[in-house]
């Protein structure tokens, strides 16, 4: 099932999400639907609040479906180690059409649980490190525009208000 992706302005995107406690068939189905929804939108990551669910759950695939082994489910993720810096353009499926340069660590180690509830740690570099940060931020109610300078952020917000007024958001 493909979920509609919630856009900036929806309160669920800026609320803090709840921990995943039930690692059951329902959770497995939800993660499969999240991958399907993410691929349909051509994203590399999707967090549960982006489909309207306030859960500490995200999916990532930096190959956008090209390599089935690149599928990562993060339940209750925490960033436990960062190293270096990278500044790259970043976007978000909840802010379609907007991008901005965001400073992130070059290497990131995340600790999370998989879809069965098993704990694991994973180190990512470059785009994967960026995705770990971006998705973990989502679960804490933080969007990438909060990492931009005030002027750039306000410009984006103004443009979105205009789009919303015209019924195009
Ligand atoms: Ni996002």
Ligand 1 centre to CA of 22 (Å) is 24
Identify whether 15 is part of a domain: yes
Domain that holds residue 120: 11-165
Q: Which long-range contacts (CB under 8 A, 24 or more apart) does 116-119 make?
A: 116/23, 117/23, 117/75
Q: Is 153 strand, coil or helix? A: helix
Tell me: pLDDT of 16 over 90: no
Ligand 1 centre to CA of 44 (Å) is 9
What integer is the mean pLDDT of 133-142?
A: 97
Model confidence pTM above 0.85:
yes
The residue among 7, 12, 9 whose CA lies nearest residue 140 is: 12
The catalytic position among 14, 36, 121, 135 is 135
Identify whether 4 is part of a domain: no
What integer is the mean pLDDT of 125-131?
A: 98
Identify whether 126 is part of a domain: yes
For 164, the token pair is 């919303």
The residue among 164, 73, 63 whose CA lies nearest residue 112 is: 73
List phi, psi (to 5°) of 104.
-135, 165
Total tally of structural domains belonging to the chain: 1
What integer is the mean pLDDT of 70-96?
A: 97
Ligand 1 centre to CA of 118 (Å) is 25
Mean pLDDT of the chain: 97
Percent of the chain clearing pLDDT 90 (strictly above)? 98
Ligand 1 centre to CA of 75 (Å) is 16
Ligand 1 centre to CA of 7 (Å) is 10
The answer to whether 135 is a known catalytic residue is: yes
CATH number at residue 72: 3.90.45.10
- In 3-state terms the chain splits into helix, strand, coil percentages (rounded to 5) of 35, 30, 35
What integer is the mean pLDDT of 128-143?
A: 97
Identify whether 6 is part of a domain: no
Query: Residue 135: pLDDT band by 50, 70, 90 thresholds?
Result: very high
Identify whether 37 is part of a domain: yes
Identify whether 1 is part of a domain: no
Identify whether 46 is part of a domain: yes
């Amino acid at each position: 099932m493909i979920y509609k992706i919630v856009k900036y302005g929806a309160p669920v995107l800026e609320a803090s999400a709840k921990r995943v406690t039930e690692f059951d068939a329902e959770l497995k189905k939800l993660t499969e639907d999240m991958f399907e929804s993410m691929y349909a939108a051509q994203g590399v990551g999707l967090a549960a609040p982006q489909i309207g669910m306030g859960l500490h759950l995200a999916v990532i695939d930096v190959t956008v479906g090209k390599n089935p082994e690149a599928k990562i489910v993060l339940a209750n993720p925490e960033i436990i180690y960062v190293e270096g810096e990278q500044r790259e353009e970043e976007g978000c499926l909840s802010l379609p059409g907007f991008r901005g340069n965001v400073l992130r660590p070059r290497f990131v180690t995340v600790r999370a649980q998989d879809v069965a509830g098993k704990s694991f740690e994973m180190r990512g570099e470059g785009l994967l490190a960026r995705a770990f940060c971006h998705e973990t931020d989502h679960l804490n109610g933080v969007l990438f525009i909060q990492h931009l300078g005030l002027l750039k952020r306000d410009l984006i917000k103004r443009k979105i208000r205009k789009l919303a007024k015209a019924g195009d958001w």
